[in-house]
């Protein structure tokens, strides 16, 4: 394995930038979103087009070099980068082309959610993505894609019409319902296991304004709020949504100063229904107990999509653990409350995203995403800007996870996982794992693409 030989082979054919540890810009380019990750690749190939990606795959394979694929660099486990080896970095490939009449958008593999929202909003449309706009569309989509629009329009993969992929042998294919349907099935939830996706074709929906914002309650009302939320979210119409959260009120002018620094339970609303309908449907839930704040109203969709960006800039310490939940059981509520009271830092949080509604109109075996029978995708997130607090946030997250996992459905959303080993990967793909392994064998028999939540070739 020689990275230098791979670089020598790649250079004459490459239009983008190749950065090695000797180059200025290398340190900036190897940084990823999670400040805990400190990996040093042998080289970073910053591709500008599909030909660059093809050349990089050939060079790495022929010189037997480990490869990581980087989209938005948001993977908390650091799976968009590697130690030694070659990073195929798509972060310069960020164009989006909207076809308004066809209601589609084609996004290049390095786009962020914000790139897609910006381009589609201009046409009064959107596709479901995530809740922080700096997240890469590639990793997010390939793992499933959960966000504010999930209940209305499904997961991101439910709106994925086609992908262009550079396979491990360097060949370029399209996967869709008509072409390579097995690959199309696998990339909808199976992660970056099957090749480098250079572009995504998404279905768009008419979404311009949403009715959105938070309702906060003091933590001592957690049991009442959680019980009301689990009833509410099971019955709410698909165009009304909100995720449950524990958080500390940030010290920003948006919130009254007497709430700053207070730990709260919350519902963060985002509904595609008309404001009158959204208000009517959510009114009873927003009036449960004694809310400390209720700040919900119409706003442009991209504003909601980027509302939390300033709170979560790149480079913070980040450790998370996840589970799917079929219910919020009575027995789990005191566990949640105990760990909410112990939120270790102001940025640390716990979210439960609803994945019923439109998500459940697709079966578990229709795509590789295998937990559509769950009600909620939960994630416990330890976050802090200060590396000195790394252990504190990690310990809280692990302890919370250990205590709540027995109340879960068993597996987790792969995009909310750290590197947690093969058993956890299998638990998350459950009955779909064997089919994924067979498809992996077909498209990547040597496991060339293995820096990911890895599916081993069957
Ligand atoms: C602050 C924050 C908020 C988040 N919010 C949400 C959310 O609301 N909803 C949600 O569903 N997820 C969310 N996530 C999780 C997110 O989906 C994953 O972290 C995802 O892996 C990020 O994708 P990326 O392209 O940015 O990551 P990267 O680190 O670049 O890559 C992640 C993985 O995807 C693979 N990959 C990346 N690009 C490609 C490509 N072009 N072709 C093939 N494989 C590729 C990589 O090999 C790697 O295994 C969030 C993450 C963070 C840190």
CB 322 less than 6 A from any atom of ligand 1: no
Going from the Cα of 352 to the center of ligand 1, the distance in angstroms, rounded, reads: 18
Q: Is the CB of 26 under 6 A from ligand 1?
A: no
Atom 31 of ligand 1, nearest CA residue: 80
* Residue nearest atom 38 in ligand 1 by C-alpha distance: 71
- Interval 412-431: pLDDT, tens: 999 999 999 999 999 999 99
> How far, in whole angstroms, is CA 280 from its chain's centroid?
31
Q: pLDDT confidence of 281, banded at 50, 70, 90?
A: very high
- Interval 46-69 mean pLDDT: 98
pLDDT value at 235 more than 70: yes
Cα 217 to ligand 1 centroid, rounded to whole Å: 31
Asked whether 355 lines ligand 1 (CB < 6 A), one says no
| Ligand 1 within 6 A of CB of 88 | no
User: Per-residue pLDDT averaged across 273-279, rounded?
Assistant: 96
Alpha-carbon gap, residue 395 to 284, rounded angstroms: 37
Residue 347, φ and ψ in degrees, nearest 5 = -90, -15
Whether 333 shows a pLDDT value over 70: the answer reads yes
Q: Which atom of ligand 1 is nearest to the CA of 34?
A: 53
Contacts of 262 (CB under 8 A, 6+ apart): 218, 248, 249, 292
> In the predicted model, what is the mean pLDDT of residues 232-250?
98
pLDDT score of 79 more than 90: yes
The response to whether residue 308 sits with its C-beta less than 6 Å from ligand 1 reads no
Question: At residue 188, does pLDDT exceed 80?
Answer: yes
pLDDT at position 182 over 90? yes
Q: Which atom of ligand 1 is nearest to the CA of 197?
A: 42
pLDDT tens digit sequence for 282-296:
999 999 999 999 999
pLDDT for the residue numbered 452: 98
In the predicted structure, residue 1 carries a pLDDT above the cut 80:
no
Q: How far apart are CA 301 and CA 210, in angstroms?
A: 6
CA distance 399 to 340: 12
| Residue 142, ligand 1, Cβ within 6 A | yes
Q: Which two tokens stand for residue 455?
A: 């599916």
* 126 DSSP 8-state letter: B
- 103-131 pLDDT, tens digit per residue, is 999 999 999 999 999 999 999 999 999 99
Mean pLDDT, all residues of the chain: 98
Tell me, using a 6 A CB cutoff, whether residue 324 lines ligand 1: no
- Cα dist. 367→158, 181, 434 in Å? 9, 11, 13
């Amino acid at each position: 394995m020689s990275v230098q030989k791979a670089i020598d082979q790649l250079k004459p054919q490459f239009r983008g930038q190749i950065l090695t540890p000797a180059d200025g810009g290398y340190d900036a380019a190897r940084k990823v979103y999670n400040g805990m990750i400190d990996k040093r690749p042998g080289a970073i190939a910053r591709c500008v087009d599909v030909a660059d990606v093809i050349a990089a795959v050939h060079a790495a394979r022929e010189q037997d070099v480990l490869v990581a694929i980087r989209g938005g660099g948001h993977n908390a486990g650091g799976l968009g980068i590697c130690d030694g080896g070659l990073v195929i970095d798509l972060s310069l490939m960020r164009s989006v082309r909207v076809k308004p009449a066809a209601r589609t958008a084609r996004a290049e593999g390095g786009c962020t959610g914000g790139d897609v929202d910006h381009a589609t909003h201009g046409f009064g449309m959107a596709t479901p993505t995530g809740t922080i706009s700096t997240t890469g569309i590639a990793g997010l989509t390939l793992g499933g894609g959960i966000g504010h629009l999930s209940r209305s329009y499904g997961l991101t993969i439910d709106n994925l019409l086609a992908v262009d992929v550079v396979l491990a042998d360097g060949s370029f294919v399209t996967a869709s319902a008509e072409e390579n349907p097995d690959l199309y099935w696998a990339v909808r939830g199976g992660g970056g296991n099957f090749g480098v996706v250079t572009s995504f074709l998404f279905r768009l929906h008419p979404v311009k304004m949403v009715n959105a914002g938070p309702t906060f309650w003091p933590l001592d009302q957690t049991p009442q709020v959680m019980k009301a939320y689990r009833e509410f979210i099971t019955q709410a119409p698909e165009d009304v949504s909100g995720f449950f959260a524990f958080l500390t009120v940030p010290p920003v002018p948006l919130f009254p100063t007497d709430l700053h620094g207070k730990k709260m339970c919350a519902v963060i609303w985002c509904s595609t229904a008309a404001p009158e309908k959204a208000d009517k449907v959510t009114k009873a839930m927003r009036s449960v107990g004694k809310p400390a704040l209720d700040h919900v109203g119409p706003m442009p969709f991209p504003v909601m999509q980027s509302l939390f960006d300033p709170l979560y800039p790149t480079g913070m310490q980040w450790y998370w653990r996840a589970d799917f939940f079929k219910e919020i059981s009575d027995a789990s509520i005191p566990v949640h409350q105990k760990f909410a009271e112990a939120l270790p830092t102001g940025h640390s949080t716990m979210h439960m995203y609803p994945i019923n509604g439109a998500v459940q109109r697709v079966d578990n075996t229709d795509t590789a995403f295998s937990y559509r029978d769950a009600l909620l995708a939960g994630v416990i997130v330890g976050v802090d800007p200060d590396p000195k607090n790394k252990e504190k946030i990690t310990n809280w997250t692990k302890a919370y996870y250990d205590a709540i996992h027995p109340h879960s459905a068993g597996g987790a959303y792969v995009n909310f996982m750290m590197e947690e080993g093969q058993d956890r990967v299998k638990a998350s793909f459950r009955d779909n794992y064997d089919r994924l392994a067979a498809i992996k064998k077909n498209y990547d028999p040597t496991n060339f693409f293995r820096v990911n939540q890895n599916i081993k070739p069957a």
